[in-house]
């Protein structure tokens, strides 16, 4: 399928180099991948029931997500399940965004540490985000070697570039453009994930229970 000009609405997931221990419905699990919409778990036996709460801690902050199992596979003692997040308990949505922003930033810095770029980008600051009915978005698109910044009403991620919520710091977005240009395909996927944290904050994804 030709993806030229096709906008992408899906949210990325981050593979965790250091998986996180947690529980799903009281059963011990390992969080191997995670994003705004869901996670991939590893566990020694099939999970029951199909809906439960995923709980884990990162940076001293508890994260609790109400989930449903979207798919599962493997066989004991090596099973895996894909979860879909239904709601964030309390401030867990903000804690999840902060966690992802920190991990993505560290991964991007690692990728560029030995290059001429050596750029540092700050984590997404939810306090700067425009919310509610005033929420619009800016799309940064790399077209024929030049960056185009356009206001957009829908937060699709373009094939070449990224979309963030209005209100993000312009200087930081310029740095993000430079990092994007210097990145390989995986680095650019991480930048889209980073940008989606801003978008998800505005759209209140996952919803707070």
Q: List pLDDT tens digits, range 79-134.
A: 999 999 999 999 999 999 999 999 998 888 888 765 544 445 544 443 343 343 44
pLDDT given for residue 60 in this prediction: 95
pLDDT confidence of residue 125 = 41
Is 4 inside a domain boundary? no
In a domain, 97, yes or no: yes
58-83 tens-digit pLDDT: 999 999 999 999 999 999 999 999 99
Task: Kindly give the interhelix angle for 170-181 and 185-203, rounded to the nearest 10 degrees.
Answer: 150
Boundaries of domain holding 139: 93-203
Query: What local confidence, expressed as pLDDT, does residue 126 receive?
Result: 38
> Is residue 3 included in any domain, yes or no?
no
Answer whether 23's CB lies under 8 Å from 6's CB.
Answer: no
Among 74, 89, 104, identify where a domain stops.
89
- 78 with 97, same domain? no
pLDDT tens profile 135-190 = 489 999 999 899 999 998 888 899 999 999 988 888 889 989 999 999 999 999 99
The enclosing domain of 54 has a CATH number of: 2.40.10.220
Same domain, 69 and 112: no
Q: Are residues 125 and 78 in the same domain?
A: no
Helix residue spans in the chain (DSSP H): 92-112, 170-181, 185-203
What b/e readout covers 46-64, taking b as 16+ CB neighbours within 10 angstroms?
ebeeeebbbbbebeeeebb
Q: Which of 40, 55, 89 is the last residue of a domain?
A: 89
Q: Per DSSP, which regions of the chain are E strands?
A: 13-24, 27-35, 38-43, 51-58, 61-75, 78-88, 137-143, 146-152, 161-165
Q: How far is CA 59 from the centre of its chain?
A: 17
Judge whether 152 lies within some domain.
yes
Tokens of 120: 């540092």
pLDDT (0 to 100) of residue 114: 53
In this structure, the answer to whether residues 69 and 124 fall within a common structural domain is no
> Would you say residue 9 has pLDDT above 70?
no
Region 8-12: what's the mean pLDDT? 68
In a shared domain, residues 80 and 179:
no
**Same domain membership, residue 79 and residue 107:** no
Contact status, residue 149 vs residue 158, Cβ threshold 8 Å? no
The overall average pLDDT reported for the chain is: 85
Q: How many distinct structural domains can be found in the chain? A: 2
Last residue of a domain, which of 39, 66, 89? 89
Strand partners, 61: 58
Q: Is residue 2, in this structure, part of any structural domain at all?
A: no
């Amino acid at each position: 399928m030709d993806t030229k000009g096709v906008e992408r609405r899906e949210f990325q997931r981050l593979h965790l180099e250091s998986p996180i221990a947690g529980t799903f419905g009281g059963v011990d699990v390992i969080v191997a991948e995670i994003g705004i919409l869901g996670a991939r778990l590893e566990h020694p036996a099939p999970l029951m029931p199909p809906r439960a709460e995923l709980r884990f801690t990162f940076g001293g902050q508890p994260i609790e997500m109400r989930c449903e199992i979207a798919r599962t596979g493997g066989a004991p003692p090596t099973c895996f399940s894909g979860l879909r997040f239904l709601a964030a308990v309390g401030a867990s949505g903000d804690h999840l965004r902060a966690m992802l922003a920190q991990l993505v930033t560290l991964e991007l810095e690692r990728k560029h540490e030995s290059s001429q770029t050596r750029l540092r980008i700050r984590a997404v600051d939810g306090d700067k985000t425009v919310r509610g009915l005033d929420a619009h978005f800016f799309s940064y698109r790399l077209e024929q070697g030049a960056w185009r910044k356009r206001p957009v009403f829908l937060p699709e991620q373009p094939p070449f570039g990224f979309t963030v919520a209005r209100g993000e710091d312009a200087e930081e977005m310029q740095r993000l453009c430079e990092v994007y240009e210097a990145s390989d395909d995986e680095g650019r996927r991480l930048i889209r994930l980073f940008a989606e944290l801003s978008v998800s904050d505005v759209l209140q994804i996952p919803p707070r229970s």
